[in-house]
Amino acid sequence: MTTKNLLVELFVEELPPKALKRLGEAFAVTLSESLKAQGLAAASAVVTAYASPRRLAAHVANVVAQAADKPVSQKLMPVSVGLDASGNATPALLKKLGALGLDASVVPQLKREGEGKAETLFFDSMVKGATLAEGLQKAVEDALAKLPIPKVMTYQLADGWTSVNFVRPAHGLVALHGSEVVPISVLGLNSGRETQGHRFEAASPTVSIRDADSYEAQLEGEGAVIPGFEKRRDEIARQLEAVAAKVGGGVQPIEDAALLDEVTALVERPNVLLCRFEEEFLQVPQECLILTMKANQKYFPLLDAEGHLTNQFLIVSNIRPADPSLVIGGNERVVRPRLADAKFFFDQDRKKPLASRVDALDRVVYHNKLGSQGARVRRQMKLAGTIARELGADEALAERAAQLAKADLITDMVGEFPELQGTMGKYYALHDGEDVQVADAIEAHYKPKFAGDTLPDGNIALAVALAERLDTLVGIFGIGLIPTGDKDPFALRRAALGVLRMLMERYLPLDLMQLLERAQAQFDKEEIAASTAVDVFQFMQERLRVYLKERGAMQDEVESVVVQAPTRIDRVPARLAAVAEFRALPEAAALAAANKRIRNILKKADAAGDSVDAVLLQPGAEADLHQALVAVTPAVDAALVSLDYTAALTRLAGLRAAVDRFFDEVMVMADEPLIRANRLALLGGLSRTMNSVADISELTT
């Protein structure tokens, strides 16, 4: 069939910038998938998405005007119901055919499938393929219905009566198959070939698209719009680098992918310009200035070669005037009050010591079942001090850091910019003369904030960060607010991952179960459930499984380690590494299978001896296995003491021949009770030794 490229564009009022990229991608993908499903486009058809502040569009290659006819087999009814003994149609079959627009003349054409009572009548026919107008109407409706719209609005059409729902009011619809308009209608709009370009800089109010393939070039040339999201993003990034290079001195625009995406969604014809603010504002912590410029104004601060904020910043304008001075001046005037507010908050906050704000936390509710932030701080002080002591750090410094860690929540700066909690606490603590380790811990105790974020440095910071998360996990779990499905309003999964990462990646010699029990001990018994520490530990074991697999460990190796519920998380990587080396040994598969067999036997056994009685051992395979086990156990135990897990598992490989011979020659479940119990005791000891590092029965061959 002859194919042509297809272009569909929906022209709307300004779309939500943070959602624009997803909206553009979803519109193009859903529309193209619908066309492919209807046979109007090949499965391999190339799809190009376009998304600008005022348009969503898709270009689909090689679309046919009408889909090919396709055979359809319609199941009717069992033969025993549809035909009488003479093979004539029954009233039931005639009624069914009538409902399909058929009559008795098609009965000889009916196909039979199956045998006996299962034999069924089918009617085979050819269904005419959908026309592009029909298929595109359905495809566009599907695409609009499935858009990930943050919030739908209702608006009236021009007739004053009809209301429609969409993310923003729509004002134009383009649908071109090659150069021909495809007649469709959505949101009260009829398709055509005219769209609009840039509000101020387009060559004419409307742009008449010649054909599907000229869309992008015409919009850029006549409409002064770069319709492609990625192309526009790349152009902004290029201009940012180019303007920064002209400034010289090694300055660079701040790297922020989310900000770049948001600005890309705000402009149609980007124009990067250099602006400045007064140097006196640089006395304010740069995090405050950077945040207000990025969050409030969507500006790109310029940093020097050392990463320090300069008094220059870049804006992305949506217009390209011959003289940009008015645009530059306007943006400089707009940012000045923002920076002045930040300076005022900073100056005011420093008039009052951070420590003097701690008492006010008693008036801030943490959770109505768990008390105030003040009560939470006191719990965390005790826990942080205990953890610091176990890490060989200064207990008093850890308690002081935990005491001050939430105090900046009461400051004006954090009240205005909640994202700066912890950061401002550090600045204010240093201003008050607190120990540097205390100040660093105040900032770092919020880390890691997200997957892949850096971890706190130093044992004081680690102690406070662990205490904060452990208190959250135990407290929230203890009142029954357990994450379900994708709902996790208190970010308990993130808190659990943070604890696991700190214990594992910082190799902290702490027992996770003991940490949870100590955290639980800080609460009154009536506040939380008695089983909380155990419940949280089990929850964290599941998070550990997920985390290790995300790090690239094989699923069965992870399971072999985690199924033993390790409490020393710092030793888990070494155990995993040992298991990976063990499974490469030629004896590994046989030992894993034997271990699984031993586990099954021991589960079914009603009684087993506590220890092996050498007198009851039968000469041959049974006595030889016991002797081999006795010989290897000291070496395995010594390797475990020195945490050489690889050596421990390697030693076990030497047991393979004895284990294989035992199962070939010995009946474990002997009739004589003492012999049977003694053999079960032998297998129990073997199982304990074989699984001292990991449960190797979990390994798949």
Per-residue pLDDT reduced to its tens digit, 316-373? 999 999 999 999 999 999 999 999 999 999 999 999 999 999 999 999 999 989 999 9
At residue 606, the pLDDT reads: 66
**Over the chain, what is the mean pLDDT?**
91
- Residue with more model confidence, 125 or 555: 555
Q: Is 603 a residue whose pLDDT tops 80? A: no
pLDDT band at 609 (very low <50, low <70, confident <90, very high): low
Mutual angle of helices 512-521 and 459-478, in 10-degree steps:
70
Contact 314, 302 (CB under 8 A): yes
Residue 285 makes CB contacts below 8 A (sequence gap 6+) with 346, 423, 424, 427
Give the lowest-confidence range in 425-434, 451-460, 497-506, 628-637.
628-637
Q: How many residues does the structure list for the chain?
A: 701
At residue 407, the pLDDT reads: 96
> Is omega for the bond preceding 17 within 30 degrees of 0, making it cis?
no
pLDDT band at 608 (very low <50, low <70, confident <90, very high): low
At residue 511, the pLDDT reads: 96
Fill in the amino acid letter for 383.
Answer: L
Contact 29, 37 (CB under 8 A): no
CA dihedral 400, 403, 405, 406 (to 10 degrees): -170
Residue 385 makes CB contacts below 8 A (sequence gap 6+) with 395, 396, 398, 399, 402, 463
426: Cα separation from own chain's centroid: 30
Closest CA to 227 of 198, 257, 187: 198
φ and ψ at residue 180, rounded to 5 degrees: -95, 140
Containing H/E element for 33?
A: helix 20-37
Kindly state the DSSP code that residue 69 receives in the 8-state scheme. P
Q: Strand, helix or coil at 582?
A: helix
Containing H/E element for 342?
A: helix 325-349
Which tokens is 463 given?
A: 């102690």
Kindly state the DSSP code that residue 83 receives in the 8-state scheme. B
- Residue with more model confidence, 597 or 44: 44
Summarize the confidence of residues 174-189 as an average pLDDT.
Answer: 95
Give the lowest-confidence range in 270-284, 386-400, 494-508, 597-611.
597-611
Q: Where are the alpha helices (DSSP H) in 405-458?
A: 412-416, 423-431, 436-444
Domains of the chain (ranges, CATH numbers): 3-67+131-221 (3.30.70), 71-127 (no CATH), 229-349 (no CATH), 354-552 (1.10.3210), 573-698 (1.10.730.10)
Q: Rounded to an integer, what distance in angstroms lies between the CA atom of residue 464 and that of residue 47?
A: 51
Contact 353, 292 (CB under 8 A): no
Which tokens is 248 given?
A: 């010289």
Q: Rounded to an integer, what distance in angstroms lies between the CA atom of residue 77 and that of residue 67?
A: 30
Q: Is 150 a residue whose pLDDT tops 80? A: no
CA angle 476, 481, 483 (to 5 degrees): 105
At residue 260, the pLDDT reads: 97
Containing H/E element for 309?
A: strand 309-317
Which tokens is 579 given?
A: 């298991």
Percent of the chain residues past pLDDT 70, beyond the cut: 99
Q: Is 130 a residue whose pLDDT tops 90? A: no
Q: Is 509 a residue whose pLDDT tops 60? A: yes
At residue 210, the pLDDT reads: 96
pTM, rounded to two decimals: 0.79
CA angle 489, 492, 493 (to 5 degrees): 110
Model confidence pLDDT, tens digit, residues 519-534: 999 998 888 999 999 9
Model confidence pLDDT, tens digit, residues 546-579: 999 999 999 989 999 999 999 999 999 999 998 8
**Half-sphere exposure at residue 251, Cβ-oriented, CA atoms within 13 angstroms:** 21
User: Which residue matches tokens 């850890």?
Assistant: 398
At residue 607, the pLDDT reads: 59
Q: Is 213 exposed, middle or buried (0-12, 13-18, 19+ CB in 10 A)?
A: middle
Q: Rounded to an integer, what distance in angstroms lies between the CA atom of residue 639 and that of residue 641?
A: 5
Model confidence pLDDT, tens digit, residues 70-123: 888 888 889 888 888 888 889 998 898 888 888 888 888 888 888 877 889 888
Containing H/E element for 168?
A: none
At residue 662, the pLDDT reads: 85
pLDDT band at 701 (very low <50, low <70, confident <90, very high): low
